[in-house]
Amino acid sequence: RSMVTDERGLLYSASDDSTIKVWNTDRMAHVATLQGHTDFVRLLKLSKANELLYSAADDGTVKVWNRQNHQLVKTLDHGHEFEIEDMLLDEMSDSLYVTGENKKIALWNTSDYTKQAIFRGHKGTVSSLALDQRKRRLYSGSADKTVKVWDVVSLNALEIVHLARMIRQQQRKQGGKRE
């Protein structure tokens, strides 16, 4: 599960009981419980720009919370009943990338909470995301043993890296030795 802290000394912890607990780290005291998910809360991300907390759960939703009053702002339905595996917040472009067992990546606009695009192409669960701000590239890792490279401006896949093939090629170059 996930935990994040903010600049005011609050700790947010994701829970198996479908809640998010808020703790004051100075006093080590429970401050609030955020309720709204219907399954395990898996991921938490803080927005530094607008005092929001994003939570993703196994119920297939992302919830947006106001960190000042701990109230639910919006529910983003990822469009499936599958677990969400990763969530990446890009505040430079007001974007939230959400991925999971449905083999897709959803791109949400965080200023109006609209779904902007769906990245398709993986054949397995997409379990991890990374963003290169400089190149404006999104990297997605999947159980299909590939990493896809996406252009976040054009929303096109640029490259597919087949990990197993790449490892075999590297091993051949090294004379079959494993590290």
Q: Which helix (H) or strand (E) holds 80?
A: none
Residue at 18: amino acid letter: S
pLDDT at 82 over 70: yes
Q: Which residue has the higher pLDDT, 77 or 76?
A: 76
**pLDDT (tens digit, 9 = 90+) per residue, 131-166?**
998 999 999 999 988 899 999 988 888 878 776 665
Confidence band, pLDDT 50/70/90 cuts, at residue 174: confident
Task: Give me the pLDDT at residue 9, please.
Answer: 93
Percent helix, percent strand, percent coil in the chain, to nearest 5: 5, 55, 40
CB atoms within 10 A of CB 136: 15
Predicted confidence at residue 168, as pLDDT, reads: 62
> Residue 171 has what pLDDT?
65
Q: pTM of the entire structure? A: 0.86
Q: What are the phi and psi torsion angles at 166 (to 5°)?
A: -65, -40
In degrees and rounded to multiples of 5, residue 170 shows phi and psi of -65, -40
Distances in Å between the Cα of 179 and the Cα atoms of 41, 166, 169 are 37, 14, 13
**Cβ contacts of 34 within 8 Å, gap of 6 or more:** 19, 20, 21, 22, 53, 55, 63, 65, 70, 72
CA distances from 130 to 15, 21, 46, 133, 173 (A): 24, 27, 16, 10, 28
Instruction: Give residue 79's pLDDT band: very low, low, confident or very high (50, 70, 90).
Output: low
